[in-house]
Amino acid sequence: MYNLKTARLMTGNDAAAYAVKQSDVDFISAYPITPQTIIVERLSEYVASGELHAEFVATESEHSALSACVGASLAGARAFTSTSSQGLALMHEILYVASGLRCPIVMAIVNRALSAPLNIHGDHSDVMGSRDAGWIQIFAENPQEVYHYLIQSFRLAEHPDVLLPVGVNLDGFTVSHSSEPVEVLEDSVVKEYLPRNERPRLDYYSPATFGAFALPTHYFEFKVEQDKTLRKAGEVLDEVAAHYPSPEGRLRKIDKFNEDGRIAVIIMGGTTGTLRYAIKSLRFRDFSLISLKLFSPFPSRELVEAVSDADAVVVMDRSMSPGAPLHPLASNVATSLYEAGVSVNLISVVYGLGGREPTIKMVLEMFEKVREIARGGGKRLSRLFLGYQGDGL
């Protein structure tokens, strides 16, 4: 629980920059894009004022920003970058290089819709377009979680059994620009939590090759090994979180709320708070909420355990997979349930595209509609679009 005497009012972006400063990064490279810009703006100020001893490289594009981070990371630096939307799309090629070369880079992804039509507001289309890039993907609900999760991400990324890049996602504007109480740790406590480990790196006196060409004889094995490592990172995460000095800030793969509710709602990111409020204060106690903090590697076992007894399972996606049988999160949930041999009444809900943040009224309408579907029973798949104003559905 917060200590209001020591908490400071910070936006999600402020909290991100502060966490990165305390994490004592060596290298930052970025290109500004709304709604992420403030993170690197603050970091450039920290570097300019001498509060943070890091190399700050302003590049001409996001593609170059992440490329520079890959180089710095291979040289042994603790590297950070941050982007949104089109910026992440432009990084696409290098996202795979960063994970394939096992660079423990940390990136704050301030989620924003993709063009066209052009839109600067929040949704998860950007990160879902990169979901197979082999990064660890974490989702924060509020500025406080942004702070805690970024610090833990450096330790997770740099763990000798992981050495993979980590994306920490926060919803554009509704989290990135919302000022809320944030409790921070002492600089020395963060420093102690993030020791610098030796890892394979470019070294003039001990030459090694990174980014070698892999022919059909080897490429396949590289990729399967990478997948195994990413899956194992889920176990390492528990260990990394267990050592985090703030017990309430520890990163859990899933966070359950009102567990006795018979209808389970699975969601990621800022809108979770609105659902928490609706369940707690507006008497929707028949709903339980599962806030997914870790999207990749996907915590299938924990999720199945949490929802297998539910009368209905609602999965809320803030992005779409056009033409696909299901949207990204719902698809992962459905596959996890299938693998566990669990059959449920599944309701896929798409919400919030292009920043259409659910209002209380929208949430209540959704809850009523879901109750109706749950009462109908059966093990089927229903699809809803929350707040969609067109017709033909």
Partner 1 sequence: MLFELLMLGRGGQGVVTAGRIFAEAALKSGLFSQSFPEFGPERSGAPVRSYVRISDEPVMLRAPIENFDVAVVFERKLLDHRLVEMIRSGGLIVVGSETPVEFARSDIKWFYVDARKIVEELNRPRSINLAMLGALCSVLHLVPLNNVEEIVRRRFGEGNAEVVRRAASRVVEVEAAA
Supply the minimum distance, in Å, between the C-beta of residue 234 and partner 1: 27
DSSP class per residue in 127-153: HHTTTTS--EEEE-SSHHHHHHHHHHH
Between 2 and 31, how does the x/- string for binding to partner 1 read (CB under 8 A)?
x-xx-xxx----------------------
Distance (Å, rounded) from C-alpha 55 to C-alpha 95?
21
CB distance 349 to 287 below 8 Å: no
Supply the minimum distance, in Å, between the C-beta of residue 259 and partner 1: 17
Between 336 and 355, how does the x/- string for binding to partner 1 read (CB under 8 A)?
-------------------x
Stretch near partner 1 under the rule CB under 8 A, chosen from 22-30, 235-243, 297-305, 360-368:
360-368
- Per CB under 8 A, 360 contacts partner 1: yes
* Cα Rg of the chain, angstroms: 21
CB distance 65 to 91 below 8 Å: yes
Q: Give SS3 for 22.
A: helix
- Per CB under 8 A, 58 contacts partner 1: no
Count of residues in contact with partner 1, rule CB under 8 A? 33
Element (H, E) at 46: helix 37-48
User: For the chain, how long is the longest CA-to-CA vector?
Assistant: 69
Supply the minimum distance, in Å, between the C-beta of residue 270 and partner 1: 5
By C-beta, is 121 or 159 nearer to partner 1?
A: 121
User: Which residues, in sequence order, are bridge partners of residue 385?
Assistant: 350
CB distance 256 to 280 below 8 Å: no
Between 253 and 282, how does the x/- string for binding to partner 1 read (CB under 8 A)?
-----------------xx-xx-xx--xx-
By C-beta, is 203 or 259 nearer to partner 1?
A: 259
Classify residue 93 as exposed, middle or buried by CB count within 10 Å of its CB (0-12, 13-18, 19+).
Answer: exposed
Judged by CB under 8 A, which of 87, 100, 358, 387 binds partner 1? 358
Q: Which residues bind partner 1 (CB under 8 A)?
A: 2, 4-5, 7-9, 35, 120-121, 142, 173-175, 177-181, 270-271, 273-274, 276-277, 280-281, 355, 357-361, 363
